[in-house]
Amino acid sequence: MKIGISNKEGQLGFVSPRGGLREGAGRKTIGVTKKVSVTLTDDLWDKIEKQCSENQLSRSEVFRTIIETYYA
């Protein structure tokens, strides 16, 4: 594995011996990522974790759904 410079914004990335970095490759973005801290009761965290495990979702997906529903 080699490390090379992507065409986008000069970011470093891994270059595969089978073709390297390609425009449009990888996971598509759905928005801007911003780090936040949230303080909730243990009961609410338990409900969120249950939602995640029952539906095979990440915490981000659960929070995104809650926020999108609120602002819809």
User: What's the domain range around 47?
Assistant: 35-72
Taking 90 as the threshold, does the pLDDT of residue 13 lie above it?
no
- Residue 46 located in a structural domain: yes
Predicted model pTM: 0.60
φ/ψ bin of 35: left (φ > 0), alpha (ψ from -120 to 50), beta (otherwise):
beta
Please write the tens of the pLDDT for every residue from 28-40. Answer: 788 888 999 999 9
Residue 17 has pLDDT above 80, yes or no: no
Both tokens assigned to 1: 């594995």
How confident is the prediction for the chain on average, in pLDDT? 82
Contact 15, 1 (CB under 8 A): yes
> In 1-71, at which residue ranges do the beta strands (DSSP E only) sit?
2-5, 12-15
Q: Residue 47 maps to which CATH number?
A: 1.10.1220
Split at pLDDT 50, 70, 90, the class of 65 is very high
For the ranges 20-24, 25-29, 48-52, the lowest mean pLDDT is seen at 20-24
